[in-house]
């Protein structure tokens, strides 16, 4: 009996996650923080402490340290993680 194979271009054994940008210009990141209501003191700290561009994986520690995370920011912007 022939083995079933997914159609060309499909790999059912390892589905791909939607791509997310790994880096973001600092000015855009700071704008997002302001939009979702992050305190200005935290935004100022981000501007002083984080490198441009923002690396969303590397700089996640900054958000957690200040009581935020990527999923919460996305949720406050009306999206879903």
- Quickly tell me which residue has 């940008």 as its tokens: 21
Range(s) of the domain holding residue 46: 23-76
pLDDT digit string (tens) for 17-72?
555 667 999 999 999 999 999 999 999 999 999 999 999 889 989 989 999 888 88
Is 11 inside a domain boundary?
Answer: no
Is 18 inside a domain boundary?
Answer: no
Is 16 inside a domain boundary?
Answer: no
pLDDT value at position 81?
Answer: 58
Specify the DSSP element, H or E, that contains 55.
strand 54-55
pLDDT value at position 74?
Answer: 79
Is 70 inside a domain boundary?
Answer: yes
pLDDT value at position 33?
Answer: 94
Cα–Cα distance between 47 and 50 in angstroms, integer? 6
For the chain, the domain total comes to 1
């Amino acid at each position: 009996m022939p083995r079933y194979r997914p159609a060309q271009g499909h790999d059912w054994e390892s589905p791909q996650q939607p791509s997310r940008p790994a880096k973001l210009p600092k000015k855009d990141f700071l704008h997002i923080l302001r939009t979702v209501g992050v305190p200005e003191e935290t935004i100022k700290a981000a501007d002083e402490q984080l490198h441009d561009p923002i690396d969303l994986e590397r700089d996640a520690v900054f958000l957690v340290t200040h009581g935020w995370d990527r999923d919460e920011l996305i949720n406050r912007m009306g999206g879903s993680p």
